[in-house]
Structure 1
Amino acid sequence: MKRPLVGSFALALFGAGALTGLATSPAAAQEAPAPTQKAQKAKAPSFEGTVALSNCSGSVVKMPNSQPDDKALVLSNGHCLEEGMPDPGTVVTDQPSSRGFTVLKADGSDAGQIKATKLAYATMTDTDISLYETDSTYKDIESKYGVKALELNAEHPEKGSAITVVSGYWKETYSCQIDDFVHQLKEGGWTQKDSIRYTADCKTKGGTSGSPIVDDATGKVVGVNNTGNEDGEECTMNNPCEVDENGEVTVRKGINYGQQTYLIAPCVGEGNKIDLGREGCELPKP
């Protein structure tokens, strides 16, 4: 996971890491494939709908079934929680919160503030996500600030797609492609599944945690940025490693990762409420 920041630039404990495995050739690990036709034609998204947290990035997201009068949801990482990282196997639901978020306009300027009423869902098991319910509806945010929420893609993204990681904290973007999907990504005691591996162009850093991964072709959110291997170590904090279906471990120093978000959509019911009992919901449960 890309570490959150404490204060202005001081680095908190949690970093890019997932468990790293037996090292491959660094040159081979970071070599990016030739751009696809789709990637060449893609247009990078704006900052509209992204948010800055005190220590991370995030975005105001709506589901395919979200309504204008629903309370807006903010998506970030589980490791960005103010109270600290959830232990492996832990799922947090319906926890009161008054966390504030700075909403950004398309040009990256500050539009204004919204506030959470609760932490609706958070975990670092199988994935690394947090979802906050806010005190503002989507209609409120658009009416007051002229900002539209980002739409969550309910389908699995495609290898080779052109993507942009949009950081509300740094007001920076990182453009690359989906290099591949990782069976298991391990870091310290945490394991994420079916993670997105970026091509080497996306050189994300601390504070980009929680940034939406936007598909350039559709403008929809397909993932949330969370980690990268900083030092070439094997499966340690800030040094995630890849584990394939046969248990073989690979380390890719300098390569960064995100978690897919299509799994969220089936778990959000009427009124934008998290419902882990809904048919098709496969997010980890308490």
Structure 2
Amino acid sequence: MNKPLLAALAILATAGTSLAPAVAAPTATAPTVTAPAPAPAVRAVTFAGTVSLSNCSGSVVRLPASEDDDPALVMSNGHCLETGFPAAGQVIVDRPSSRTFGLLNSAGTKVGTLRANKIAYATMTDTDVALYQLTTTYGQIRSTYGINALTLNATHPVAGTAITVVSGYWKRTYACNVDGFAYRLKEGQWTWKDSVRYTSACQTIGGTSGSPVLDTATGGVVAVNNTGNEDGARCTDNNPCEVDQNGRVTVRKGINYAQETYQIPACFGLDSKLDLSKSGCVLPKP
């Protein structure tokens, strides 16, 4: 897993610049040309809505049908729980929690503290996710801090999509693409299904666990960052391996992974209430 580092690291932020193309002014004899339709607007990826945990990263997330008066949810990894890693096969539902989260604005500055009242759902079986229910609503967060929650996409991510991993712990972003999907991703005692594999540009580190993985073009959440193969070892802790439908094992040293989140909306109803019995809900059950 992308566990938090034991000591602070010096991180160099590289700022990119973009130049607008030069366009020559038409002469008096130039033919009239119809301008092409403008490209669809691209939502800039920022830190707004992400959170810092004591040991990981996370984000305030809403379901596509969430309303302003619904209790807000914070998403991170199951292995980021304050109570330690869930065992293989363990699913945690509606467990009281008073955990706090530092809410970040677009610049990555902490603007407030949010508090949970329970762990709504958490597991490291099939996926690696934790969803905390907060004592505040989406509307209250927006009115107090001017920050909107990030929206969970309800459709499967697509290979080749440009993505950005946004870490509230490090206040750092990682940009790459969805390289593909691992049928099974095995790490120690845990196995995850249909995991997102990044291209090599996303070199996530300890502390980025739980970061939302955003579709760079839309800002929608497509996955939650959780692990990477650090040393080239085979299927051990911190060295996950891919297992295909025929049981063939592939080790990709230096490659990092995330767990898909499109299944989550189908398991929640009104008022952010978890309902694992809902039609279409495929998250593991206790």
> Does the pair score TM above 0.5?
yes
CA-to-aligned-CA distance 1:106-135 (integer Å, 9 cap, x gap): 111111001000000000000000000000
**TM-score, normalisation: structure 1:** 0.87
In the aligned structure 1, how far is the partner of 2:123 from the partner of 2:71? 21
In the TM superposition, what is the alpha-carbon distance from 1:218 to its structure 2 partner? 1.4
1:56 and 2:56 correspond: yes
Structure 2: state its 5+ residue gaps: 10-40
- Paired position in structure 1 for 2:266: 266
Instruction: Report percent identity of matched pairs.
Output: 62
**Contact kept in structure 1, 2:152 and 2:261, CA below 8 Å:** yes
CA drift at 1:242: 0.3
Give the letter aligned to residue 132 of structure 1: Y
Report Cα offsets for 1:174-220 as digits up to 9, x if no partner: 00000001000000010000000000000000000000000011110
Q: CA 1:94–1:5 in structure 2 vs 1: closer, same or farther (change >3 Å)?
A: farther
Give the equivalent residue in structure 2 for 1:133: 133
Counterparts of 1:222-237 in structure 2, within 5 Å, are 222-237=222-237
Deviations 1:234-275 (A, max 9, x none): 000000000011110000000000000001010010111111
CA contact (8 A) 1:44 1:175 kept: no
Structure 2 match to 1:241:
241
Aligned counterpart, 2:187: 187
Is the partner of 1:193 in helix, strand or coil?
A: strand
Contact 1:196/1:257, CA 8 A, preserved across alignment: yes
Name the residue aligned to 2:105. Answer: 105
RMSD over aligned Cα, in angstroms? 1.4
In 2, Cα distance between the equivalents of 1:181 and 1:109? 33
- Alpha-carbon distance change, 263 to 143 in structure 1, aligned in 2, over 3 angstroms: same
In structure 2, the partner of 1:67 is: 67
Partners of 2:43 and 2:217 within 8 A in 1: yes
* d(CA) in 1 for partners of 2:243, 2:42: 31
Q: Give the superposition deviation at 1:77.
A: 0.0
1:212/1:221 contact within 8 Å kept = yes
SS at match of 1:218: coil
Name the larger-Rg structure.
2
Give the number of aligned pairs. 255
**Per-residue deviation, 1:9:** 4.0
Q: Give the TM-score of the pair, scaled to structure 2.
A: 0.87
Q: How does 1:1-286 map to 2 (within 5 A)?
A: 1-5=1-5, 9=8, 45-286=45-286
Cα deviation code 1:31-62 (max 9, x no counterpart): xxxxxxxxxx9765100100000000000000
C-alpha separation in 2, matches of 1:65 and 1:267: 12
Identify the residue that residue 35 of structure 2 maps to in structure 1. Answer: none
Q: How far 1:5 moved relative to its partner?
A: 4.6
Indicate if the aligned counterparts of 1:42 and 1:162 stay in contact, CA closer than 8 A.
no
Please give the alpha-carbon distance, in whole angstroms, between the structure 1 residues aligned to 2:5 and 2:83: 14
Gaps in structure 1 of 5+ consecutive residues:
11-40
Given that 2:42 and 2:218 are in contact with CA atoms closer than 8 Å, whether structure 1 keeps it comes out as no
